[in-house]
Amino acid sequence: MLNEGEKIMEKKNTNKILIAVIIVLAIIVIAMAAVIVGYMAGNRQAKNDIKKQDAVTTVKETNIETTSQQETTTEQIIASTKKTVDVNKYAEGIYLCDDTSVDDIVKDTGGNYLNIKKIGKNNVSFEVVTIQAAPSSRIARVVIDDLKLDENGVAKFKFDDDGWGNRGTGTIAFKGNDKVKINIKITRMSQDSMWNIGEGTVEYEYREDQKVPKLW
């Protein structure tokens, strides 16, 4: 039989063993937890990477679609343009798309107008302006200088800023009878933009009675 001292010593040894076992088990649990957390984090990152890749693919597909739409629109404009248009017969000044006036567009209803600043045999300088209705009256403007026209009086153009950080592409076509058709496509919309030049195709007609407004 063990005496009292030996019993105490055996009990201490047993406690040490239990403590050692607990420590080992704790280390194992912590290691397993770390592995699980690492796996979950890696899995989450992989999913995020897949989402990002999908987003990039979507953007690329959208850009391809935008380019395709722009090319189709340009072809349609060219097809509807007279082959014998004499651009030199066009007047410099204001072109509108309806019976409104520049004064109404600027001060009240809003709208858009085309200002042909300079025109020659094979080139044109112009600006397209889109104004929000009062009282906001925000103004977007695309200015194109010395744009070379082809033999049909048609030309493509690009712009990097419409006054609101938006960029895009467009086509201008002189159709005869003092009419000009312009198509605009915004290819990148600024996140901070509160207004833009607008998209689509608009046919403008010369208005001799209208004057270029002072916007600034």
Q: Give every CB contact of residue 175 below 8 A, 6+ residues apart in sequence.
A: 80, 81, 82, 85, 153, 181, 203
Instruction: Give 182-203 pLDDT, tens digit per residue.
Output: 999 999 999 999 999 999 999 9
Closest CA to 174 of 152, 156, 157, 192: 152
Q: Which fold has domain 87-206?
A: Lipocalin (2.40.128)
73 pLDDT band (50/70/90 cuts)? Answer: low
**pTM of the full predicted structure?**
0.64
For the ranges 25-29, 103-107, 115-119, the lowest mean pLDDT is seen at 25-29
Domain edges within the chain:
1-79, 87-206
- In sequence order, what are the beta bridge partners of 188? 167
Task: Answer for the pair 186, 166: CB distance below 8 angstroms, yes or no.
Answer: yes
CA distance 177 to 171: 18
Distance CA 162, CA 140 (A): 5
End-to-end distance of the chain based on CA atoms, in angstroms?
A: 109
Helix H or strand E segment including 180: strand 179-188
Q: How many CB atoms lie within 10 A of CB 119?
A: 18
Q: How far is Cα 68 from Cα 61, in angstroms, rounded to an integer?
A: 10
What was the pLDDT predicted at 209? 95
Q: How do residues 172-184 score in pLDDT, each as one tens digit?
A: 999 888 999 999 9
pLDDT digits (tens, 9 = 90+) for 12-69: 666 677 777 788 787 887 878 776 766 565 555 545 544 444 443 333 344 444 444 5
